[in-house]
Amino acid sequence: MTYEGGSPSLNRLALSATIHCMTGCGIGEVLGLAIGTWAGWSTLPTMALAIVLAFVFGYSLTIRPLLGAGLPVAQAVRLALAADTVSITVMEIVDNAVMLVVPGAMDAGLSSGLFWGSLAIALVLAAMAAFPVNRWLISRGRGHAVVHEHHAGKDSSGDPHSGHDHHHR
């Protein structure tokens, strides 16, 4: 499907992909930063854990419905890698950069408003950075466009007969 600039359907797909990515990244990022902070780890291992978990949860949220749609594990993993890698990478760069530049955020404890406030702002800014990336990828048949045709046999509109073409190029 060819998208016109500013097409609501393209924006809806990009927003959906961004929210999807933010959910997986957010779960992994929050869990990783919380574990590292709770354990008293330094910044580098804490961020490394958060990044690894962000990718794990991000990919998992894509793989699960693909497996539910009957795809083999290897194909589901390949599609998740194609759909999510760029978006997760952008989100993780922005998210972790924000956490690093906010004075004291990485050293604040789990009971600190500074920690949670910085993390919330970091996730919002990361999503804002990922949205145009996801939009650009989807407009070219990449990113989440490669998985939408597999979600329960429907395209992003929910209509299995809409004829939208989201094939990977």
Q: Residue 8 has what pLDDT? A: 54
Lowest mean pLDDT among 71-80, 84-93, 154-163: 154-163
Mean pLDDT of the 14-21 span: 89
% of the chain residues with pLDDT over 90: 60
Confidence of residue 150 (pLDDT cuts 50, 70, 90): low
Residue 30 CB contacts under 8 Å (≥ 6 apart), including other chains? 119
Token pair listed for 12: 């809806």
Mean pLDDT of the 67-86 span: 92
Q: Report the sign of the C-alpha dihedral through residues 152, 156, 158, 161, in that order.
A: negative
Instruction: List C-alpha distances in Å: 90 to 73, 128, 164.
Output: 25, 10, 27
Q: Is 126 within 8 Å of 25 (Cβ atoms)?
A: yes
Q: Is the pLDDT of residue 126 over 90?
A: yes
Token pair listed for 157: 């509109």
Q: Residue 124 has what pLDDT? A: 94
Three-class secondary structure of residue 163 per DSSP: coil
Instruction: List C-alpha distances in Å: 18 to 2, 74, 84, 87, 166.
Output: 20, 24, 10, 8, 17
Residue 102 CB contacts under 8 Å (≥ 6 apart), including other chains? 114, 118, 121, 122
Q: Residue 3 has what pLDDT? A: 45
The neighbour count for residue 123, using CB atoms within 10 Å, is: 20
Lowest mean pLDDT among 54-63, 84-93, 140-149: 140-149
157 vs 72, which has greater pLDDT? 72
Q: Is the pLDDT of residue 168 over 70?
A: no
Could you give the CA distance from residue 47 to residue 49 in angstroms, rounded to a whole number? Answer: 5
